[in-house]
Amino acid sequence: MASNNKTLYLIASKLGLGEEDKVLKKAAEFERLLQTKNMAGSNITDTSKIVICLDLAASILGADLDIKSAVKYSGLKTSTYTNTKKVVQNLLELNSDRLSTTMLCLTLQCTGVQELADRILAEYQRLAKVEVDLNLPQYVCMAVYQACRMSKVKVAKSKVIEKSRLKPAQWTKLDADWTKFTDLHFEAAKKKGRQTKKSAETVENEELMEIDVPKVEEVFEDKIEPYEDWKKRMLEAAYKELKELEKLEKKNVTPRKSPRKTPQKFAPYKSPVKTNGVRLLFPLDL
């Protein structure tokens, strides 16, 4: 136990791993390996590294560890802790599902740009001012994305960002840097991508062109209709026309209306006679 770091032992005791000798030895080994790796652009403290190393060692050896307590003692937020743990896993090569250009191109269905993506990665590593771990997912995703951009191959940007494990703001910044880099060092590949697109469009247009084929006039033989068939056909046509005329005549005929009978107002009597302003009901000459 004396060989272990005092800070490592202290944190392990708080996490309930003080009696786990194998976990402590494995975590100390991870810590030593991590010191040889370059974590450029990372603000991880030594305490956070120790907690993450203990977490990884405990998960490998099957020891119980409270994740909430680990996040608490690391001094990081839960999301930051998770992302940092993945970075440490990649640096220590503990992640069997490590992303590669081959896997990403297969996922995005753009295997034609894999060679260019590998060249971009190699050139970026060669010209980088600091040591860069190209096994990190953000670099693999950016190389494939830039290769697709230069080759005019459409891919789902949201999927690439998701695979990179970066936030949108981080992706935008990295994208701007890599765009300048690829445009400067891979201009020939960019022009080739444009030519490839034009040639593909030309082939497609040629396939859509119609080829004029001279039409062969069909020769029809004059057929003479037998008299009986002609007679039958003409009679049927005449009978059909006659039926239609009868229907039209029936529609046009309207029934006659009987004369209107107006009742006599004072029949059978005569209209009453007025005499000297007196109305008589009977005539005077009786």
Question: How is 252-265 classified by DSSP, letter by letter?
Answer: H--PPPPPPPPPPS
| Structural domain count, the chain | 2
What is the span of the domain harbouring residue 149? 101-200
Rounded Cα distance between 96 and 47, Å, is 26
Rounded Cα distance between 125 and 130, Å, is 9
Confidence of residue 279 (pLDDT cuts 50, 70, 90): low
Confidence of residue 3 (pLDDT cuts 50, 70, 90): very low
Whether residues 117 and 193 share a domain: the answer is yes
Least confident residue range of 65-79, 106-120, 183-197, 244-258: 183-197
Backbone angles phi and psi of 230, in degrees to 5: -65, -45
Confidence of residue 31 (pLDDT cuts 50, 70, 90): confident
pLDDT given for residue 282 in this prediction? 57
pLDDT given for residue 218 in this prediction? 46
Confidence of residue 212 (pLDDT cuts 50, 70, 90): very low
Residue 207 structure tokens:
């396939």
Q: Are 52 and 11 in contact (CB under 8 A)?
A: no
pLDDT at 211 over 90: no
Q: Is residue 56 part of a domain?
A: yes
pLDDT given for residue 210 in this prediction? 44
- At 27, is the secondary structure helix, strand, or coil? helix
Rounded Cα distance between 242 and 183, Å, is 87
Q: Is residue 281 part of a domain?
A: no
Confidence of residue 272 (pLDDT cuts 50, 70, 90): low
pLDDT at 74 over 60: yes
The CATH number covering residue 178 comes to: 1.10.472.10
Task: Encode pLDDT of 240-259 as tens digits.
Answer: 888 888 888 777 765 555 55
Contacts 24+ apart (CB under 8 A), 126-131: 127/181, 127/185, 130/38, 130/40, 131/38, 131/40
Beta-sheet pairing, 274-275 with 278-279: antiparallel
274, β-bridge pairs: 279
Largest CA distance in the chain: 164
- Enter the pTM of the model: 0.41
Q: Which of 200, 216, 245 is the last residue in one of the domains?
A: 200
Task: Encode pLDDT of 128-144 as tens digits.
Answer: 877 777 778 889 999 99
From residue 169, how far is each of 124, 158, 172 by CA, in Å? 21, 13, 5
Q: Is residue 54 part of a domain?
A: yes
What average pLDDT does the segment 105-119 reach?
89
Most confident of 24-33, 34-43, 250-259: 24-33
Q: Is residue 221 part of a domain?
A: no
Q: Which of 41, 72, 91 is the last residue in one of the domains?
A: 91
From residue 144, how far is each of 83, 165, 174, 218, 249 by CA, in Å? 21, 15, 13, 59, 84
Mean pLDDT of the residues in the chain: 76
pLDDT at 203 over 60: no
Backbone angles phi and psi of 278, in degrees to 5: -110, 130
**DSSP states along 116-149:** HHHHHHHHHHHH-SS---TTSHHHHHHHHHHHHH
Q: Are 131 and 40 in contact (CB under 8 A)?
A: yes
pLDDT at 1 over 50: no
Confidence of residue 262 (pLDDT cuts 50, 70, 90): low
Q: Which of 91, 117, 148 is the last residue in one of the domains?
A: 91
